[in-house]
Amino acid sequence: MLLESHAPMEEHPLRLTDIPKPVPKVGEVLLRVSTCGICHTDLHIIEGEVKPPSLPLVVGHQVVGEVEKIGEGVENRKLGERVGVPWLYSTCGRCSFCQRGEENLCEDIRFTGCHENGGLTEYMVAPAEFVYPIPRIFSDIQAAPLLCAGIIGYRALRISEIKKGEVLGLFGFGASAHIAIQVAMHWDTEVFVFTRSENHRDLARELGAAWVGGAEDPPPKELDRAIIFAPAGYLIPLALKNIRKGGTLALAGIYMDRVPEMPYDLIYGERKLVSVANSTREDAIGLLEAAAEIPILTEVEAFRLEEANEAYLRLKRSEIKGAGVIVL
């Protein structure tokens, strides 16, 4: 599925076409793709709010596949091994951020399905150092949403500094939040979910949310930490209003519309407002380990490759319960 020019999802901008099978270069592996999760970031790329360096492009950055060929110099991967490719495609390893262990902020960071072709295709290449073995307990379909939704949710939880016994608020309850809630509950926290969609409210209750309401509804208790998953800046003051002094509000989206002007009172009292940018290899490994241990159940709706436009449109309309996955 190829994106040739940006357009609203309603115009079905992805086109099914043949592209040459890529050849793995030094340090890369060739994967035969089996599944690829769909993500809001893809929507922003397709519609042009997040601009990839060039088009045409294959989007998709939650890729599960089998290693079919190994490039020169690759020692950490085996033929036939099942691996996952997340949003983080590669980092430079040399800049000050990489050297500090903050590779998610790398000056020359590259993203899957943005700087390089992603997974809505039969074959893709990826650097061997940036793909991860998928724990055996997950099917290809169930594993796909772990690779962005899961990893970003996991990083957002870490950045929020949520601790055992605390109350966590989740604003928006799509693919990422439905995984994050399972990790948060495993860490013995109480989770309140703020979302409009009835589908999403049902899923939040099924997964054990202690309270479910709308963003404007007062929760039964003050929040220690909160994470906003929706790309909507107007949620920031609504969330801050419910957070205790010294608490944290993490913004998990790569894209957010305007941050509104707000009274200083909302953030005074040493409340912290922090964005979550991308992820590190450590986050990927941490999430996959936690996912297998808990174990995380991903709620998944599967689509065929030919249905990708329809799948993204349903995602845009919040009609997908849990995560959408394209099966090759």
Min dist CB 39 to Zn ion, Å, is 3
Q: Using DSSP, state whether 194 is helix, strand or coil.
A: strand
CB of 281 to Zn ion, least distance (A): 12
Question: Does the protein bind Zn ion through residue 280 (CB under 5 A)?
Answer: no
Are 158 and 98 spatial neighbours (Cβ–Cβ below 8 Å)?
A: no
Q: Which one among 95, 267, 277, 313 touches Zn ion, defined by CB under 5 A?
A: 95
Comparison of 76 and 96: residue with beta carbon closer to Zn ion: 96
User: Element (H or E) spanning 155, and its range?
Assistant: helix 149-160
**Which sign, positive or negative, has the C-alpha torsion 11, 13, 14, 17?**
positive
Q: What are phi and psi of 55, to 5 degrees?
A: -120, 160
The residue (of 92 and 294) whose beta carbon lies closer to Zn ion is 92
98 is a contact residue toward Zn ion (CB under 5 A):
yes
H or E element at residue 284: helix 281-293
Verify cis geometry, omega within 30 degrees of 0, for the bond prior to 219. Answer: no
Q: Give 24 or 145: the residue with its C-beta nearer to Zn ion.
A: 145
Measure the CA angle with vertex 185, ends 181 and 187; round to 5°. 120
> Are 221 and 229 in contact, with CB atoms under 8 Å apart?
no
Which range touches Zn ion (CB under 5 A), out of 65-73, 104-112, 127-135, 264-272? 104-112
33, 106, 184, 239: which one contacts Zn ion (CB under 5 A)?
A: 106
- Which C-beta is closer to Zn ion: that of 41 or that of 117? 41
Nearest approach in angstroms of CB 7 to Zn ion is 20
Please give the Cα distance from 205 to 211 (Å, whole number). Answer: 8
Tokens 């016994």 — which residue?
165
Q: Is 59 in the site for Zn ion (CB under 5 A)?
A: no
Total residue length of the chain: 328
**Residue in this structure with the two tokens 């920031």, named with its chain if needed:** 236
CB nearer to Zn ion: give 92 or 266: 92
Compute the least distance from the CB of residue 109 to Zn ion, in Å: 7
Residue 62 C-beta: closest distance to Zn ion, Å: 6
Considering only the stretches 122-130, 142-150, 156-164, 276-284, report the one whose residues sit in contact with Zn ion under the rule CB under 5 A. 142-150
Instruction: Give the CA distances from residue 230 to residues 22, 95, 138, 235, in Å, rounded to whole numbers and listed in that order.
Output: 35, 31, 27, 8
Per CB under 5 A, contacts with Zn ion among 28-57 are 39, 41
Which positions from 193 through 222 interact with Zn ion, judged by CB under 5 A?
A: none
Minimum distance from CB of 97 to Zn ion (Å)?
5
Count residues contacting Zn ion (CB under 5 A)? 8
Q: What is the identity of the amino acid at 180?
A: A
- Shortest distance (Å) from residue 287 CB to Zn ion: 13
- Taking the C-alpha atoms of residue 54 and residue 110, their distance in angstroms, rounded to an integer, is 13
Judged by the rule CB under 5 A, the positions of this chain that interact with Zn ion are 39, 41, 91-92, 95, 98, 106, 148
